[in-house]
Amino acid sequence: MNRLCERAVRIGLPAVVFTEHLDFEDSWKVDAGDIGEHAQRYVDDTGYVRLPRFDVDGYLAAIDRCRSAYPELRILTGVEFGQPHIWDAQAASLLDSGVIDRVNGSLHMLPFGDNDRSEPTTLYRYMSADTVMWEYLAEIPRMVDGSDSFAVFTHIDYAVRSWPTFTAGPFDPVRFEEGFRGAMRSLAESGRALEMNTRRLWPWIPRWWAEEGGQAVSFGSDAHEAGSLAANFPEAMAMVESFGFKPGRRPEDFWTR
């Protein structure tokens, strides 16, 4: 967190939101190599990921330390809440307490087998690529209907990241256009913002979002280390501007149209 703050100051970023992962999944199945390096240490001998619970007090103390060390930087609290439609009740006491400024909702996992859930990266080994993609997109309206705790939907291209190009060919968003548009419609109708996740920039995301009635976007670089903080933000800002989105008053405000 220190390195991220230092980097933010150095590149002139006016504000950061530390959206720490908030997950209530006890465990989920992964195949070897299916999980990022930063989470490898949570995979046990049986191939299940076992995450430690979000340490709220530790997180808030760290935020306080950052605020004292970097008074020139606006630092906000946040969570990236995984599968909120399943875990809203468990998160309610934290999210109702008012200590969390920004609640992002993430869909990282889909049902897998009888009792498991797993990430697209693993699901692609067991189902056709198209099935995984359609199921991912179909789950988004269910997540919207099933939870009112999150204000922003993150990385709508999550299942695209691990798309198996080698067996399924290059990913073509137009083939899944109706699924993306339907997901966006449900998000727009519920008044939520769509995150422009700048790990990858896709012009069809803000275009379809605006066409489906989306009114607000946020920017997230998904930076798990300081070097990628705010990566591609200038390009993302130019892109959403061309679809009519404009910045708000404060740096952390959504861009709206």
Residues contributing to the site for Fe ion (CB under 5 A): 106
**Residue whose beta carbon is closest to Fe ion:** 106
In the complex, the smallest distance separating the C-beta of residue 198 from Fe ion, rounded to whole angstroms, is 13
98 CA to centre of own chain: 21
Task: Determine contact, residues 18/63, Cβ cutoff 8 Å.
Answer: yes
What tokens does 134 get?
Answer: 């359609």
- Which residues of 133-246 form beta strands (DSSP E)? 152-153, 193-197, 216-220
Compute the least distance from the CB of residue 22 to Fe ion, in Å: 11
Instruction: Give the list of residues 6+ apart from residue 45 with CB closer than 8 angstroms, or none.
Output: none
Q: How far apart are CA 86 and CA 197, in angstroms?
A: 23
Q: How far is CA 42 from CA 27, 153, 163, in A?
A: 10, 25, 24
Which lies closer to Fe ion via its Cβ, residue 70 or residue 119?
A: 119
Q: CB nearer to Fe ion: give 83 or 186.
A: 83
Shortest spacing between CB 106 and Fe ion, in angstroms: 4
Minimum separation from the CB atom of position 51 to Fe ion (A)? 13
Q: Toward Fe ion, which CB reaches closer, 19 or 70?
A: 19
Cα angle 43, 27, 119; round to 5: 80
Smallest gap, in angstroms, from Cβ of residue 39 to Fe ion?
11
Q: Which is nearer to Fe ion, 77 or 256 (CB)?
A: 77
Residue 180 or 243: the one with the smaller Cβ distance to Fe ion is 180
Structural tokens at position 123 = 């699901």
